[in-house]
Amino acid sequence: MKAFIKHIATYFPEKSLSNQEISERFPEWDSEKIIQKIGVRNRFNSGEDEFVSDMATKVSEKLFSENNFDRSSVDFVLLCTQSPDYYLPTTACIVQNNLGLRNDIGALDFNQGCSGFVYGLSLAKGLIVAGIAKNVLLITAETYTKHIHKEDKGNLSIFGDAAAATIISTDGLYEINEFSLGTDGSGAQNLIVKNGGIKNPKTDDSLIDSGNYLFMDGTEVFNFTIKNVPILIKENLAKNNLEMKQVDQFIFHQANTFMLNYLRKRIGIEPEKFIIDMENCGNTVSSTIPIVLKNLIENKNNKEKILITGFGVGYSWGATVLTQSND
């Protein structure tokens, strides 16, 4: 049994945050400086009363509508998020109810960040190949901006909120091939919201370094990335019996343009085979890769072989190759 990406839909909240607005709040942080350092002009922020279950529901409804897809054929819901509505129940169960999906299906959350879409594809493929499901609804949804302190101009500039819904099925647009996955928990403290769980409850402290907000050690995350991603690409090419020149397109997690360009040059990827597509939405965490894929499909710019890779919080990383279906 093979597994394929069949449909993709994306969703962005109504509220946007431009570089100009950020510069007005932080005069030393010039609008052009942001685009030069990060590669983002605009990003979206979830509404005050808009949460992951809302965004996941909206993007799934959009997927069903745009593709005339019968929701009753969904056998499993996988929801990737690091900003769930509650500790429990799992947000995927709330989304199942919101969407009016069948009761004889599975639904679960998994807590993963920038490698989340790749990990989600691996889980979905496992369900398909094992015969447990025929149609998996994979949702990536984040309200990351709710984790960011209002005075943290760096992370406010980088991250945006978004959601993507993908149907993985027994047929479709792109066959999902072999995976390479990795984990190194020694880097957990370098990208973390320290407070808010059972171990460290959220405090009343509103300081930027209180532990209540997103902390990212940019230097350490960068060093982790440039060390592990080139090895990951080499490993995954070998697993899929491919050489670099046989890949038509490389889609990396859209972290920031400086990092992406550095990786492209270090790995030796030709510029025309490498996509940077984050200027108008920022780093949307687990949704960056499906957003780029959706844009490729919409622009009828499908490629025969695409290598996708995600990397980040955990640390975690993953890659796979997508092959265009001939059906």
Catalytic residues: 114, 253, 283
Using alpha carbons only, what angle is made at residue 141 by residues 139 and 147, rounded to the nearest 5 degrees?
A: 155
In contact, 82 and 188? CB cutoff 8 Å:
no
Beta strand 305-312 pairing with 249-252: parallel
Give the residues across from 307 on adjacent strands.
250, 321
Where b means 16+ CB within 10 Å and e means fewer, 281-308 reads bbbbbbbbbbbbbbebeeeeebbebbbb
Beta strand 76-80 pairing with 135-142: parallel
- How far apart CA 153 and CA 168 sit, in angstroms, is 37
DSSP designation for 255: -
For residue 272, count other CB atoms closer than 10 A to its CB.
8
Taking Cα atoms as reference points, which of 294, 114, 88 lies closest to residue 198? Answer: 88
Query: Residue 222 is which amino acid?
Result: F
Estimate the crossing angle of helix 91-99 against helix 52-67, to 10 degrees.
Answer: 40
Query: Residue 274 is which amino acid?
Result: F
Taking Cα atoms as reference points, which of 64, 63, 82 lies closest to residue 72? Answer: 64
Taking Cα atoms as reference points, which of 128, 105, 133, 236 lies closest to residue 180? Answer: 236
Query: Residue 178 is which amino acid?
Result: E
